[in-house]
Amino acid sequence: MRTDLAEHAAFGGVVPEVAARAHAVILDRVIGEALSRASVSPGDLDAIAAAAGPGLIGGVMVGLTTAKAMALAHKLHLIPINHLEGHALSARMTERVDFPFLLLLVSGGHTQLVLVDGVGRYRRLGTTIDDAAGEAFDKSAKLLGLGQPGGPCIEAAARNGRADRFRFPAPLAGRAGSDFSLSGMKTALRLAAEDLAAPTKRDVADLAASFQSAVARHLAGQTGKALERLADEGVAVGSLVAAGGVAANGAILAELSAIASDRGLALVVPPAKYCTDNGAMIAWAGAERLASGKTVSREEALAFAPRPRWPLADPIVGAEFGGGRKGPKA
């Protein structure tokens, strides 16, 4: 299994069938290890939370079905969780972050601005109209002949580069709203690289630094517009939270920190292990739902079908605002 995964990882992608099989192979062991490290047995638990979407359906099905089996065997509550809700609430695991706050979620698959007004109360203020930020980093790293995942490789290459050497677009800057567009950055990078006959290491460093800085300015600029909109609406957010793998990027964090401090807000970034995809954030979201009574009934949870697509503003219960469809009642 490891060989399979290493092989596919080398191609910079996830093969859904291989990923689902890997889940099935290691899940029991991972759960066993988690329980033994916490010195608890399944019967000691109040509930079991599992990601029920969005995402590659094979892996989600394996996880949710295992959780259903455990809930049945040990008579536990089952709490299906939206993966994005895990990211949204993850900062509260390690820091005191009061509602409402603005979340910038930047990962390989998502680039979103979400007003988090409470558990189950989410309003999306912006999303990417083309590539996700992590995807743009990964594709651009490939174009520059750097490794995968692309984000850390671009950040490392950019460390020795000049960010002001190449000009990049400022997408959607003059327009209202706080959506993102990242595919133009990738095109600009390709055109700049093509202009150089045989790019040297120095050129690659400058290209990486210019690209990274343009992405950072774009993310921070659109985030600033969302904060302005909230201020205009009289919504007093206390912090800006950045989560997802791309939030590990120092240049992006520096731009976000400036945007936040301009407005007297704290910038909160969960530690990398909780910022990127992880099981603890799903358990945490389940605990938050359990504590606030925002859970579905046991019957509904056991019948819950995995959702390959599941916008965050479409929670299971309590679609108080955000245009979400009203889900089954608790």
Binding flags for Zn ion, 101-140, as an x/- string (CB under 5 A)? ------x---------------------------------
The listed partner (Zn ion, ligand KG4, none) that binds 249, CB under 5 to 8 Å by sort, is: ligand KG4
Which range binds Zn ion by CB under 5 A, 12-20, 90-98, 269-277, 312-320? 269-277
> How many Cβ atoms from other residues are within 10 Å of residue 147's Cβ?
15
Question: CB 6 → ligand KG4: shortest distance, Å?
Answer: 17
Whether omega for the bond prior to residue 308 falls within 30 degrees of 0, making it cis, is: no
Asked if residue 185 lies in contact with residue 140, where contact means CB atoms within 8 angstroms, the answer is yes
The site that binds ligand KG4 (CB under 6 A) totals a number of residues, namely: 18
What end-to-end distance do the CA atoms of the chain give, in Å? 40
Q: Which residues pair with 77 in a beta bridge?
A: 47
Residues 59, 86, 126, 245: which binds ligand KG4 (CB under 6 A)? 245
Pull the structure tokens for residue 292.
């606030």
Which range binds ligand KG4 by CB under 6 A, 2-10, 170-178, 240-248, 253-261? 240-248
Which range binds ligand KG4 by CB under 6 A, 23-31, 66-74, 246-254, 304-312? 246-254
Question: CB 79 → Zn ion: shortest distance, Å?
Answer: 18
Q: Check residue 95 for interaction with ligand KG4 (CB under 6 A).
A: no
Per-position DSSP letters for 85-109, written without gaps between them: HHHHHTHHHHS--PSSEEEEEESSS
Angle (CA) 243 248 253, round 5°: 85
Closer residue to Zn ion (CB): 244 or 318: 244
Residue 325 DSSP class: P
Residues 66, 90, 123, 137: which binds ligand KG4 (CB under 6 A)? 137
Pull the structure tokens for residue 181.
């567009």
Q: Is 153 exposed, middle or buried (0-12, 13-18, 19+ CB in 10 A)?
A: buried
**What is the Cα–Cα distance from 297 to 34, expressed in whole angstroms?**
26
Three-state DSSP class for 62? helix
Residues 155, 179, 203, 288: which binds ligand KG4 (CB under 6 A)? 155
Which range binds ligand KG4 by CB under 6 A, 146-154, 195-203, 229-237, 279-287? 146-154
Q: Check residue 150 for interaction with ligand KG4 (CB under 6 A).
A: yes
Question: CB 87 → ligand KG4: shortest distance, Å?
Answer: 8
**What is the Cα–Cα distance from 108 to 221, expressed in whole angstroms?**
20
Q: Check residue 277 for interaction with Zn ion (CB under 5 A).
A: yes
Binding site for ligand KG4 (CB under 6 A): 107-109, 134, 137-138, 149-152, 155, 244-246, 248-249, 276-277
